[in-house]
Structure 1
Amino acid sequence: MNSPADRRQNPADHHQNPTDGYRDLAARYGTPLYVYDLDRVEESRRALAGSLPEGFEIFYALKANPHPDIARALREGAGPACRAEISSAGELASALSAGYNAGECLYTGPGKTPAELEHAIGEGVRMFSVESYTDLQHVGAAAIRHGVVAKCLLRINSAGTKAATTGIRMMGKPSQFGIDSETLPELMPQLLAVPGTRVVGAHFFTMSNAVDENGLVGEFEQTVAAAARLAEEVGLPLEFLDIGGGFSSPYAVPGERADYPKLAAELERILDLHLPRWRSGTPHLAVESGRYLVGSSGYLLASVVNIKDSRGSRFVILDSGINVLGGLSGLGRLLPAAVQLDGAEPDGVASLVGPLCTPGDSLGRDVRLPALEPGDVIVVPNVGAYGVSASLQGFLSRPVAVEAVVRGGQVVSATQLVPVRTEVPAVAVS
């Protein structure tokens, strides 16, 4: 059996400049252009698997990037195959087209509609993460209509302290996510009795993009301790435990994803303490990740359309804005975007803006940039996650970015997404 150190890949083992040759792709396909490197995807999967104890499964959160070629690369190839975590009929369609078995998918999210549940169960999905008693009832009603029983994880909104510094915290406060842990003693008998469902475990996801390994370990320790306590004190079934994620990777700036040299040993210590039967498979253990698995694989190529000086400030206007690299801009989070241009050194500071008719179309203010001219192509690194899938594609009806997938420097596919409506059956609700 390989040790975690043997299975971990050195992030410094990168070949030449990953943007070499991408300018040719921009000439071939135009801009805006996303390039996804499947070699980097598989490298990230090996790195994450090598940071975990043997026996953990990894769910790939398709919300990060639902491109079927990327999802397929995480299911196939060398190393442990990822399972799919999905939150919509569209993500389910992407997972199925990438070869995932619907019965192995985990369907999550706080707003599962009757039509979506009918569609998912009809396609073969059998495992759901539920956010409330009524969410569980909705899953059960759909399962009964199909004559099946749905396995359900209770997503827990734990009230523990914060162990990690993070950009987005999901638990420990009033939230649409998860069942408040303090309500479980009274609620558990009802949860276990919902027709059409079988509660098989728990799902935690406390935060996103933890900035340090010690903090991530602390979050996981609180999660495992909470799951063990709920199993003992309120009778929570614990056949399956998803402890969430939070694995860190840079977004839209140069840099490498985080390395976790101590995580496997620390998780083994935590599990031995709180769930000593884990080594024999009780409970079955999983983590989930989107950003860490695919973030470093993606690059956005954009063309400089114009350069404008206004009252002492310079604006570099691109053909790509928040319609192409939204970065969850609806949350009001300004991207710290950085660019690369043939290795040129920064020559000055400017605002990097897009072509949309709104002052909110900003990819970064006071960005250090090389000398640029109209027609130059810039590269934004580390946008394989939350690029196209987190952008305002419909605004102003601008062209959707082409997505080119490469492996070994060769183009595997090049497609331009045309938004389509995923048909799901209408459900009469009495």
Structure 2
Amino acid sequence: MIGHTELAKRFGTPAYVYDLDRVRAARRDLLAALPDAMHVFYAAKANPHPEILREMRGRGDRCRAEISSVGELAAALEAGFSGADILYTGPGKTDEELTEALAKGVRLFSVESPGDLRRVGAAAGRLGVVADCLLRVNSVSASATTSIRMTGVPSQFGFDSETLPALREEVTGVPGTNVAGLHFFPLSNAEDEASLIAEFRHTIEKAAELQERLGVRFRFVDIGGGFSAPYAVTGERPVYGGLREALGDALDTHFPGWRDGGPRIACESGRYLVGDSGTLLVGVVNVKESRGRRFVILDGGINTFGGMSGLGRILPVSVQPDEAVPGTGEPAMLVGPLCTPGDVLGRDVALVDPAPGDLLTVPNAGAYGVTASLLMFLGRPAPAEVVVRGPEVVSVSRIEHLRTYVHGQALR
């Protein structure tokens, strides 16, 4: 792979470098960790760059795309996914979005409520098609006691599992739709493989129970994700050695025909598949002292790497650059260029003699980077996104800020 220093000289900083060889390796490792009959939905929200999506698609048919907007739909289609390869999710799907997605061939939707289901059906009916819908489930109970919980509380996401059976008549008779199965997403970033396996077992058991209580033979069950990966710190993503057998056993118990497609089983992943493919390059602009603290001011901050700022899920941002040396050097605050004291990327980071003009590299930054940041705040240019494969630069691009007046002219 081309050196980061050379890429920074050629394309400037801040910049992201995405290594497609690492994307391919993560995709290979995850598919190998799953039973052969399972599919994977790549969560485009983790990184919707078309080159990443194209690599994720590969040449087989086991990796599909999970999207939540028409912007992600456009990126997935550009990358070569067909509408039939896509699962459309999200609690706020508008009539316009649904019409566009259906018109472009999307037929699989995750729905969060009876109203969401009716909206999908109405849009499908206007186009004379039928949409397959997965009822997203907000389980009342869970297995894993660690990791980031995604269910079990009042939420805009999913049907509450304890009330879903009573809605059978309401959800199975909506014109324009077929209830094809269920969609779960109980946790994110499982602490370890044992926690991940336990959660998947619990989900599979709950899916079988709901199938029986609803009296609907499912054709598709998405059991969610939870695959772990380091985020903006050094470390290796895990390889799951026991998951394949554990999933196969659980599915054989609760869905005996699943290996022949009755139902088809899928899981989903974002950060695991792309996290270690990305490196963030930032330049040191200034170093200053203030009341006994050292501040290293960078040319990219939370506008460049916001870590889903404000969403409360991956925050606080706490990067650990490759140049940080634990226990050596004077601790410093890593701050960005924005006019807010909240523009902090790292606290008490030990750097050896930082100086203006230095290059810092942040590892494991391939997920929730550019498009999960405060990109428009202060109108600073977006970082370059450099895609490489081995010694080759595949593409270099930058998201541009562009204001378009919807009626063709500004009001004066």
Identify the match of residue 158 of structure 2 among 160, 169, 178: 178
Which position in structure 1 is the counterpart of 2:409? none
The answer as to whether partners of 2:131 and 2:178 remain within 8 angstroms in 1 is yes
Which position in structure 2 is the counterpart of 1:12? none
The answer as to whether partners of 2:117 and 2:174 remain within 8 angstroms in 1 is yes
Identify the match of residue 11 of structure 2 among 29, 34, 37: 29
Identify the match of residue 135 of structure 1 among 107, 110, 116: 116
Q: Structure 1 residues 422 and 62 mapped into 2: Cα distance closer, same or farther (>3 Å)?
A: farther
Which position in structure 2 is the counterpart of 1:399? 381
Q: Structure 1 residues 420 and 106 mapped into 2: Cα distance closer, same or farther (>3 Å)?
A: farther
The answer as to whether partners of 1:155 and 1:202 remain within 8 angstroms in 2 is yes
Between the aligned partners of 1:390 and 1:55, the Cα distance in structure 2 is 32
Between the aligned partners of 2:266 and 2:259, the Cα distance in structure 1 is 13
Deviation at 1:347, TM superposition (A): 1.8
Q: Structure 1 residues 408 and 422 mapped into 2: Cα distance closer, same or farther (>3 Å)?
A: farther
What are the ranges of 5 or more consecutive residues in structure 2 without an aligned counterpart? 407-412
Deviation at 1:162, TM superposition (A): 3.6
Which position in structure 1 is the counterpart of 2:229? 249
Deviations 1:344-389 (A, max 9, x none): 9942210100000001100011112232100001000001000012
Between the aligned partners of 2:324 and 2:334, the Cα distance in structure 1 is 18
Q: Which moved more, 1:191-200 or 1:412-421?
A: 412-421
Which position in structure 2 is the counterpart of 1:212? 192
Between the aligned partners of 2:10 and 2:324, the Cα distance in structure 1 is 18
Which position in structure 1 is the counterpart of 2:363? 381
The answer as to whether partners of 1:345 and 1:370 remain within 8 angstroms in 2 is no
The answer as to whether partners of 1:49 and 1:80 remain within 8 angstroms in 2 is no
Which position in structure 2 is the counterpart of 1:275? 255
The answer as to whether partners of 2:324 and 2:352 remain within 8 angstroms in 1 is no
The answer as to whether partners of 1:90 and 1:422 remain within 8 angstroms in 2 is no
Deviation at 1:172, TM superposition (A): 1.0
Deviations 1:199-239 (A, max 9, x none): 10000000111111011011101100001001112224311
Identify the match of residue 176 of structure 2 among 182, 196, 199: 196
Aligned counterparts, 1:12-411, within 5 A: 21-77=3-59, 81-166=62-147, 168-332=148-312, 333-341=315-323, 346-411=328-393
Between the aligned partners of 1:309 and 1:348, the Cα distance in structure 2 is 12
Q: Which amino acid aligns with 1:139?
A: V
The two structures, once aligned, show a CA RMSD in angstroms of: 1.9
The answer as to whether partners of 1:203 and 1:244 remain within 8 angstroms in 2 is yes
Between the aligned partners of 1:97 and 1:419, the Cα distance in structure 2 is 21
Q: Percent identity?
A: 58
Between the aligned partners of 1:245 and 1:420, the Cα distance in structure 2 is 35
Partner of 2:388: helix, strand, or coil? strand
Q: Which moved more, 1:287-296 or 1:275-284?
A: 275-284
Aligned counterparts, 1:2-21, within 5 A: 21=3
The answer as to whether partners of 1:192 and 1:198 remain within 8 angstroms in 2 is yes
Partner of 1:172: helix, strand, or coil? coil
Q: Structure 1 residues 206 and 419 mapped into 2: Cα distance closer, same or farther (>3 Å)?
A: farther
Q: Which amino acid aligns with 2:132?
A: K
Q: Structure 1 residues 198 and 25 mapped into 2: Cα distance closer, same or farther (>3 Å)?
A: same
The answer as to whether partners of 1:344 and 1:370 remain within 8 angstroms in 2 is no
Q: Which moved more, 1:361-370 or 1:284-293?
A: 361-370
Deviation at 1:274, TM superposition (A): 1.3
Q: Structure 1 residues 27 and 419 mapped into 2: Cα distance closer, same or farther (>3 Å)?
A: same
Between the aligned partners of 1:359 and 1:135, the Cα distance in structure 2 is 40
Deviation at 1:181, TM superposition (A): 1.0
Q: Structure 1 residues 236 and 172 mapped into 2: Cα distance closer, same or farther (>3 Å)?
A: farther
The answer as to whether partners of 1:164 and 1:212 remain within 8 angstroms in 2 is no
The answer as to whether partners of 1:89 and 1:422 remain within 8 angstroms in 2 is no
Between the aligned partners of 1:422 and 1:258, the Cα distance in structure 2 is 44
Ranges of 4+ aligned residues in structure 1 off by more than 3 Å: 341-346, 419-424
Deviation at 1:91, TM superposition (A): 0.2
Partner of 2:262: helix, strand, or coil? coil
Deviations 1:23-45 (A, max 9, x none): 10110010010000000000000
The answer as to whether partners of 1:61 and 1:85 remain within 8 angstroms in 2 is yes
Partner of 1:224: helix, strand, or coil? helix
Q: Which amino acid aligns with 1:66?
A: P
Partner of 2:168: helix, strand, or coil? helix
Q: Structure 1 residues 185 and 120 mapped into 2: Cα distance closer, same or farther (>3 Å)?
A: same
Q: Which amino acid aligns with 1:172?
A: G
Which position in structure 2 is the counterpart of 1:9? none
Deviation at 1:341, TM superposition (A): 3.5
